[in-house]
Chains A and B, each alone.
Chain A
């Protein structure tokens, strides 16, 4: 492992680094042991507490929670993507009467917390919490999708649009058949990364009492007793993180693959605080 930031470590530096690493591992390991011992003192590792996982009902609730999480994410993604495409087309329209209001709406949507939109839909339109979660996710993520695709369109060489117009396509046809397909392909990693964000944000449904995974944990802890909170939370958090990690890996894989295949490679555009992994 060599880096431009430092000389290739010699024997002395390697020894220092090794000793430092060992000390670091010992310190972190010590902290972990301390944490585990604190937990053990509280009886967290009492087999009785983990025995809840023998109950099929517990797994049924967890499965229902995962199902609710994935359902909200899937429905929201399926609606948000076409809507984002539409918003993108409006945002880059030649007609200022379309472009400017769209821009204001997008700024507005991007500037608000997702959970506030969920609560707004829930209370003002008196919908079910599922609809509120999906609506909140759709509103926010379609705005982000629109911005990502717009960044993709703008990253295309100018000649693409010029050529499209030169062969007699209308502006709209050129956008639809020439620019958007390339833009989406280039931005695929960013779009998938945003999907991870969308998936993560379904956990906000907890706040508007949607029965997703975390809410299922809470329900179980209330139902079975607080001593089961930790085991159930631990398992649910692990499942949540595992799902998100898997989708993130997909984004990274797409990026690697895409940079070999897509014309001009894929582009990195950090949007709204979601820096794309490089």
Chain B
């Protein structure tokens, strides 16, 4: 137990970095994922094709490969970063946006047909139908799955710890090396900090599911 209390500053540092990675990647992924979903339902065939291909490939790419690409392969190809956090954010947001796009698309499909028909019949064009009528309703219905994706994102950010970023998992690995006699408690501490983010988020998802989201 002592080892956790003694190293609280490192834990806290890692915790904040995990939060930072998740938050920045989450925001980028939400925006990019929504754009991808919009492209997927758009009238332009090239956009549909691009979005479909991107989602299909990225969803089936192991996260470690995405990280390996961003952190190891990219620098050797001349794309260098000052900090490895940038590589982690690239990998995480590119990976997560594919899942967000799928979720938002299923939300778009869940909006009753009449909504789009009514919007079109009063003369709205596609961009207006989507941004004013469909997306606001679609995003609302997919809040619980989106929160679940964000939970997965927080957990996925742990992979960054293996690619030179000292977030929670990376700090845990270092502490485990430094405190060979108390490895178990070190890792229990790491687990505690992860649960500190994921369990409240999970609770939030179930509350939102029950109360806020509109039933159809």
Flag if B77 contacts A38 (CB, 8 Å): yes
Pick the residue among A214, A230, A245 that contacts B64 (CB under 8 A).
A214
**Interface members, chain A 230-278 (any B CB < 8 Å):** 230, 233, 237, 240-241, 244-245, 248, 270-275, 277-278
Q: A21-B46, A111-B199, A123-B176 are in contact. Are A273 and B151 (CB under 8 A)?
A: yes
Pick the residue among B45, B120, B125, B183 that contacts A124 (CB under 8 A).
B183
Flag if B46 contacts A20 (CB, 8 Å): yes
Flag if B172 contacts A275 (CB, 8 Å): no
CB distance from B45 to the nearest CB of A (A): 6
Q: A13-B43, A273-B151 are in contact. Are A196 and B60 (CB under 8 A)?
A: yes
Query: A226 on the interface (CB 8 Å rule)?
Result: yes
Closest A residue by C-beta to B104: A275
Flag if B202 contacts A24 (CB, 8 Å): no
Closest B residue by C-beta to A16: B44
Chain A residues near B150: list those with CB within 8 A. Answer: 273
Flag if A115 contacts B148 (CB, 8 Å): no
Residues of A in contact (CB 8 Å), total 60
The distance in angstroms between the C-alpha atoms of A212 and B116, with both chains bound, is 48
Flag if A17 contacts B184 (CB, 8 Å): no
Q: A5-B116, A245-B56, A272-B152 are in contact. Are A229 and B76 (CB under 8 A)?
A: yes
Interface stretch, picked from B8-16, B80-88, B188-196, is: B188-196
Pick the residue among A13, A28, A38, A204 that contacts B159 (CB under 8 A).
A204
- B-contact 0/1 string along A147-187, CB 8 Å cutoff: 00000000000000000000000000000000000000000
Residue with the highest number of chain A CB atoms closer than 10 Å, among B41, B46, B73: B46
- A-contact 0/1 string along B39-65, CB 8 Å cutoff: 001011111001000001101111111
Flag if B149 contacts A273 (CB, 8 Å): yes
**Interface members, chain B 150-171 (any A CB < 8 Å):** 150-153, 155-156, 158-159, 161-162, 169
CB distance from B102 to the nearest CB of A (A): 5
Flag if B120 contacts A116 (CB, 8 Å): no
Query: B68 on the interface (CB 8 Å rule)?
Result: yes
Flag if B50 contacts A113 (CB, 8 Å): no
Category for how many chain B residues contact A: 35 or more
Flag if B195 contacts A112 (CB, 8 Å): yes
The distance in angstroms between the C-alpha atoms of A17 and B125, with both chains bound, is 14
Pick the residue among A4, A24, A42, A237 that contacts B65 (CB under 8 A).
A237
Flag if A20 contacts B152 (CB, 8 Å): no
**Interface members, chain A 110-146 (any B CB < 8 Å):** 110-116, 119-120, 123-124
Chain A residues near B159: list those with CB within 8 A. Answer: 113, 115, 204, 207
Residue with the highest number of chain A CB atoms closer than 10 Å, among B43, B69, B161, B183: B43
**Interface members, chain B 126-178 (any A CB < 8 Å):** 126, 129-130, 134, 145, 148-153, 155-156, 158-159, 161-162, 169, 172-173, 176
List B residues at the A interface (Cβ < 8 Å): 41, 43-47, 50, 56-57, 59-65, 68-69, 72-73, 76-78, 99, 102-103, 106, 109, 113, 116-117, 120, 125-126, 129-130, 134, 145, 148-153, 155-156, 158-159, 161-162, 169, 172-173, 176, 183-184, 187, 190-191, 194-195, 198-199, 202
Question: Can you show 14 pairs from A to B with CB atoms below 8 A apart?
Answer: A5-B129, A6-B129, A107-B199, A111-B202, A112-B194, A112-B198, A113-B194, A115-B169, A202-B62, A204-B63, A244-B62, A270-B145, A272-B151, A275-B102
Which 4 residue pairs of A and B lie closest in terms of their CB atoms, listed nearest first?
A: A273-B152, A21-B46, A203-B62, A113-B158
